[in-house]
Amino acid sequence: MDLQRLTRKEEYVWQIEPHGQMRVPAVLFADESLVRDMDDKVYEQICNVAMLPGIVQAAYAMPDAHWGYGFPIGGVAAFDPEQGGVVSGGGVGFDISCGVRTLLTGLQYPAIEANKTRLADALFHRIPAGLGSTGQIHLNDAGMDAMLIGGADWAVEQGFGWQTDLARIEEQGRMPGADPDKVSAFAKKRQRNEMGTLGSGNHYLEVQRVSHIYHPSAARVFGLREDDVVVSIHCGSRGLGHQIGTEFLREMALGAAGQGISLPDRELACAPINSPTGQDYLGAMRAGINCALANRQIITHLTREVFAEVLPQAELQLLYDVSHNTCKEEHHRVEGKDRRLFVHRKGATRAFGPDHPDLPVELQPVGQPVIIGGSMGTASYILAGTKQSEQRAWSSACHGAGRAMSRHQAKRQWQGRSLVDELAERGILIRSPSMRGVAEEAPGAYKDVSAVVEVADQAGLAYKVARLEPVVCIKG
């Protein structure tokens, strides 16, 4: 990206001044190297977001920002329904509520080292992964609707997990306002056999070792110690979320002109929040959020079963579950006034700071856990939200490393089998049904996650708590 087109406001904050049809500035959080490496499409897309009706304050791009559908991945924007604000399917993404949860095993790494291979094989055998993967749960119509309303709460009622898990999940495991009637029969059909599955792409289940503690007091609250073993699960709403996105983006694009909306890009198709289409999408999207929360809850249950067989001394308490493809109704202070806003986070993580009332009481002293997933074979991080982030970017942070090259480019440069062998030499066991998928997710195809996390920390979006190194990775 050409730095001449940006104004450097702070060391890690860059601004694109309003021009053309932009209603507000666009703000990028990055160091100079990350900005230079961002493709021009990020510039174009974040400026387009700033043109949408009812946008408040600014359009934001996180340090892992890269080209996406409509919004850049790593894009954040808030809209005021009382000022004609819109909801955009491209601002949420196709994998609705894709997110990460991290489980504490209570074990130190030496306790699992001898069982690493057995653990990798058992997890791969038990948890379906890959394109079109299906599980052992088959939902009828009534069961599907109950799941879409109940989310992780429904999953726990079905015996998939513990009641105590719910307090450590966004929205306590159940997104209010979900409306299964707004989800098409075809979307439900696509999901009927996919509950409890990882899917493909950048989704994974990873056994990790805590390699470094940056903030000892926050780590104690989170239950993290150096050399601890944790498990992180990254997946979303599978075929149902993709179908919801596909159908509503088409409807929004066709109806935009009739709503008086001039779209800078068809991929930013949107509808006024208070319109019938806007309300229908929110009902369907919230059902998609519940689908993802239920999916991660079921996978958690399967993971616990595997550990009970291989390492029965493990506990697997849930640290936190947070999504990064959502639109949430939230209250934020804007120029001294409380405003009801609809915050889009596309490839960006909610990062509430200390004392936020929506957090469990025991987490309020340090802020919300912010889980930043690495790419296969690289580190992941656990951060915590800051009060400063409320004003900086609607309490938002990055969600991962962000791609540096396309999947097609990655396949030309790497071979899956060679990557698996190279990572095994480093002590990282990869299990995947697709060597092509492994090549697409090569560590070198992503930005440096440590550089991305450092910017999030230095810019005040979230502060570093712990670094996690991969031990076993089950890839879709």
Question: In this predicted model, what pLDDT tens digit does every residue of 436-449 receive, in sequence order?
Answer: 889 988 888 888 99
> Domain for residue 208, yes or no?
yes
In Å, the largest CA–CA distance within the chain is 64
pLDDT (average), residues 164-191: 97
Could you tell me where the DSSP H helices lie in 179-271? 185-191, 216-222, 238-255
| pLDDT > 90 in the chain, percent | 90
Decide: helix, strand or coil at residue 447: coil
pLDDT (average), residues 452-461: 97
pLDDT (average), residues 382-395: 96
Which tokens in the block code for residue 388? 């400063």
Among 144-158, 282-296, 416-430, the minimum mean pLDDT is found in 416-430
pLDDT > 90? residue 404? no
pLDDT (average), residues 147-176: 97
pTM strictly above 0.85: yes
Q: Are residues 91 and 327 in contact, defined by beta-carbon separation less than 8 angstroms?
A: yes
CA angle in degrees (0–180, nearest 5) for 348-354-356 = 80
pLDDT (average), residues 329-355: 96
**What does the pLDDT read at residue 401?**
87
Q: Which residue has the higher pLDDT, 444 or 22?
A: 22
Strands 228-235 and 73-79: unpaired
> Domain for residue 91, yes or no?
no
pLDDT per position as a tens digit, 271-318: 999 999 999 999 999 999 999 999 999 999 999 999 999 999 999 999
pLDDT > 80? residue 130? no
pLDDT (average), residues 200-207: 92
**pLDDT bracket for residue 202 (50, 70, 90):** confident
> Domain for residue 177, yes or no?
yes
**What does the pLDDT read at residue 445?**
86
**What does the pLDDT read at residue 262?**
93
**What does the pLDDT read at residue 217?**
98
Q: Are residues 71 and 346 in contact, defined by beta-carbon separation less than 8 angstroms?
A: yes
> Domain for residue 88, yes or no?
no
> Domain for residue 333, yes or no?
yes
Whole-angstrom distance, CA of residue 465 vs CA of residue 117: 29
Residue 123 structural domain: 3-83+96-475
> Domain for residue 89, yes or no?
no
Give the active site residues: 399
pLDDT (average), residues 40-57: 97
Q: Provide the domain count of the chain.
A: 1
| CATH code of the domain covering residue 359 | 3.90.1860.10
**pLDDT bracket for residue 406 (50, 70, 90):** confident
Closest-CA residue to 5 (of 28, 24, 23, 21): 28
**pLDDT bracket for residue 142 (50, 70, 90):** very high
**What does the pLDDT read at residue 222?**
98
Whole-angstrom distance, CA of residue 342 vs CA of residue 471: 38
Which tokens in the block code for residue 113? 């080292």
**What does the pLDDT read at residue 403?**
82
pLDDT per position as a tens digit, 218-257: 999 999 999 999 999 999 999 999 999 999 999 999 999 9
**What does the pLDDT read at residue 386?**
97
**pLDDT bracket for residue 108 (50, 70, 90):** very high
Decide: helix, strand or coil at residue 388: helix
> Domain for residue 44, yes or no?
yes
Whole-angstrom distance, CA of residue 15 vs CA of residue 209: 37
Could you tell me where the DSSP H helices lie in 311-458? 388-393, 407-413, 416-425, 435-440, 449-458
> Domain for residue 118, yes or no?
yes
| pLDDT > 70 in the chain, percent | 100
The single-letter code of the amino acid at 326 is T
Whole-angstrom distance, CA of residue 13 vs CA of residue 460: 10
What is the distance between the terminal CA atoms of the chain, rounded to a whole angstrom? 32
Computed over every residue of the chain, the mean pLDDT equals 95
